[in-house]
Structure 1
Amino acid sequence: MYHRALQASHVPRGSLLFTTALPGHAEYHRSSADTGLISMNHCLQQEVEVWLLWPESLPPEELRQICFPLLSAEEQQRSQRFHFEHDRTHYLAAHALLRLCLGHHLACPPQQVQMATDRNGKPHLAGQFSASPLHFNLSHTGGMVACIVTHSRTCGIDVERIRPLPEMAGMARTVFSAAEIAWLESQEDATRSQAFFTLWTLKEAYIKATGLGMSAPLQKITLDPATLRVEDHSLPAQLRVAWLFDYWHPDPEHALAVACQNTGASFTNAVVYQELDLVTGQRQQLRRRDAGNALQ
């Protein structure tokens, strides 16, 4: 079995490495949708893409005007049922980000992407796209939304706002294994909140990827932030597979982690993080995490 040792390169926000216009924007053009789809899926066979968006960078009304038309009719209706503007804004941003990402890789308008959920609530492509090899996952928290997309690999993502937790010890006993609690308690007091969210985002990304979510036996699963390995004692040995993990703090207020099953004929070579500009429809690469083979 293998895990992937990752090496990161990144640039500050605002430093442009590349831009790509998306469907749903005037700058988007494609001469051959089929050719574009083939080339994009080929790229995803080697890389994992993470798309990021800071929704509070736009006035709420401007964000609504951009995002609302990109959603399905059902999502539009649901967005109007939120009582607080903050919740509505983040819902619109998250689902618009996901639809722009999937529409980009499926070579279709974002509104036409068909999705459904499994019995545990994990979303997947449906309808005419049900045979697509794309896997995806979505997460949002105060001030940030993020999605992950892969080719033929189950995946999960979690993003959390880093904040003080007065009941951290009690929460840790509920969601962490004994080894994870020992690791958390070994951290310096000044950085323990940050360490908590690093560990939690890794764990939630994993349980979202498996499809179990919070129904997973959390105390039987151990994530090691130092080695980026998982020990899932809830599974028999023959059912355990190789996983690719990565975590990052894209800004001082947020922790983000991804998990991706890493089995099959080829391994994932990199995790690529990109920020989406909703106004222009362009993506900007923020960070690339390259992987190399290492025995587990």
Structure 2
Amino acid sequence: MNDEVEMSALLGVHPAQFLAVVDIPEFTWDAECVVLYADVRSLWLGNSSASEESFAKYVSLLPAYEQLALKKYHFRSDAVQHLVSLLLQHAVISQLQGIAWKDSRITRSTSGRPSYQSARFDYNVSHHGGLVAIGVRTVNSKRIGVDIVDIDEATKNWRSGWENDFHDVFTENEYKTILSERDSYKIKRRLFTFWALKEAYTKAIGVGLLSDLKSVEFTNVGDIDVSGLDHYSKTLCKVNGEPIDWRFELFALEKTVIMAVATSNDDLLENKTSVKLINLQDIIKAVHSVT
């Protein structure tokens, strides 16, 4: 028995059943830019039969080749986050493109950026520390980039002297701003705020962190926190010394989690991205309601 047949037999559901456009009322498209994110930590914490059953249900919604790709992950947390990222992508493609779930096909650029061919919209994905997000520019196919960082997760194994490890990432001015704080944790939080902004922008334009990150310089970067300023949108950016007309937003999703969203101001009328925490069960219910 080959792996594909074995996986299908194990899960008992074949993606070819999903013949209709998936309508998920909880996925609201009431803004030009929308970020939907899910907390998936319950799917890998512990080994309960309930979490195993939920994991199997979610996997069964994917086409066979994507199911098999999940086997390459050695850690359950990585597999879960990738799985949910794929589910969010297929849900967005089916809804916004108006196609059946089974016809949703994710393609990737040479740099690995996912998309749907000939889409009327643009999207980008990110996950870290158990939160998985998809950012969508719903009209005009203008580019969007999103990045999530859990500061505690990112720094849990850092060694002494870590503050000197980023000279190939940040400009001299950025470094001065980051290190101007005296509190070690605040320095880490500010460092990853700059990091998330850089990653969101480079992901939006499709080059990721392969580019010269020091050519992208941010100023007027705010400090965000769930207990205070939880959204900030006044950040400015220069690329190779020239200002660019983009909107950069920062969101505090949890005490230790920040998210950056980058999109071009071209044809942008609204001044804030809509952010919504979603329940993955809504995807399960919607897909199975059309089978």
**Amino acid paired to 1:71:** L
Contact residue 42 and residue 51 of structure 2 kept, 8 A: no
Which of 131, 138, 148 is matched with 1:159 structurally? 148
Which of 279, 282, 289 is matched with 1:280 structurally? 282
Match of 1:103 in 2: 94
Alpha carbons of 1:196 and 1:111: their partners in 2 closer, same or farther (altered >3 Å)? Answer: farther
Distance 2:179 2:277 in 1: 34
Match of 1:134 in 2: 121
The alpha carbon displacement at 1:74 in A equals: 2.1
Higher strand share: 1
Match of 1:178 in 2: 172
The alpha carbon displacement at 1:274 in A equals: 0.9
**Amino acid paired to 2:145:** G
Match of 2:38 in 1: 53
Query: Rg larger in 1 or in 2?
Result: 2
**Amino acid paired to 1:201:** A
Say yes or no: does 1:92 pair with 2:83. Answer: yes
Contact residue 126 and residue 134 of structure 2 kept, 8 A: yes
Distance 1:205 1:182 in 2: 21
Contact residue 72 and residue 112 of structure 1 kept, 8 A: no
> Residue by residue, what CA displacement relative to the aligned partner does 1:200-237 show, whole Å, maximum 9, x if unpaired?
11110011111111221111211121341111117xx5
Distance 2:95 2:54 in 1: 20
Aligned partner of residue 167 in structure 2, secondary structure: helix
Alpha carbons of 1:253 and 1:72: their partners in 2 closer, same or farther (altered >3 Å)? Answer: farther
Contact residue 53 and residue 277 of structure 1 kept, 8 A: yes
Distance 2:41 2:211 in 1: 32
Residues paired across the two proteins, number: 236
Aligned partner of residue 122 in structure 2, secondary structure: strand
Which of 212, 221, 238 is matched with 2:216 structurally? 221
> Residue by residue, what CA displacement relative to the aligned partner does 1:98-156 show, whole Å, maximum 9, x if unpaired?
22223222233444212212222212212xxx2x2210111111211111011221011
Alpha carbons of 1:64 and 1:241: their partners in 2 closer, same or farther (altered >3 Å)? Answer: same
Which of 215, 237, 240 is matched with 1:233 structurally? 240
Aligned partner of residue 90 in structure 1, secondary structure: helix
Distance 1:162 1:184 in 2: 14
Aligned partner of residue 278 in structure 2, secondary structure: strand
Aligned partner of residue 269 in structure 2, secondary structure: coil
**Amino acid paired to 1:154:** R
Aligned partner of residue 270 in structure 1, secondary structure: coil
The alpha carbon displacement at 1:262 in A equals: 1.4
Match of 1:10 in 2: none
The alpha carbon displacement at 1:29 in A equals: 5.5
Contact residue 51 and residue 101 of structure 1 kept, 8 A: no
Distance 2:197 2:262 in 1: 7
**Amino acid paired to 1:181:** Y
Distance 2:205 2:188 in 1: 26
Distance 1:137 1:113 in 2: 16
With the length of structure 1 as denominator, give the TM-score of the two structures.
Answer: 0.72
Match of 1:64 in 2: 55
Distance 1:230 1:89 in 2: 34
With the length of structure 2 as denominator, give the TM-score of the two structures.
Answer: 0.73
Match of 1:207 in 2: 202
Contact residue 218 and residue 237 of structure 2 kept, 8 A: yes
Contact residue 139 and residue 159 of structure 1 kept, 8 A: yes
Alpha carbons of 1:145 and 1:101: their partners in 2 closer, same or farther (altered >3 Å)? Answer: same
More relative contact order in 1 or in 2 (CA 8 Å, sep 6+)? 1
Q: Which moved more, 1:218-227 or 1:103-112?
A: 103-112
Gapped regions of structure 1 (runs ≥ 5) = 1-23, 31-38, 283-296
Contact residue 55 and residue 63 of structure 1 kept, 8 A: no
Say yes or no: does 1:114 pair with 2:105. Answer: yes
Percent identity, aligned pairs only? 24
Match of 2:73 in 1: 82
Distance 2:270 2:23 in 1: 29
Alpha carbons of 1:275 and 1:137: their partners in 2 closer, same or farther (altered >3 Å)? Answer: same
Contact residue 93 and residue 116 of structure 2 kept, 8 A: no
Distance 1:269 1:90 in 2: 30
Superposition pairs of residues 189-208 of structure 1, within 5 angstroms? 189=183, 190-208=185-203
**Amino acid paired to 2:125:** L
- RMSD between aligned residues: 2.5
Match of 1:246 in 2: 249
Alpha carbons of 1:175 and 1:107: their partners in 2 closer, same or farther (altered >3 Å)? Answer: same
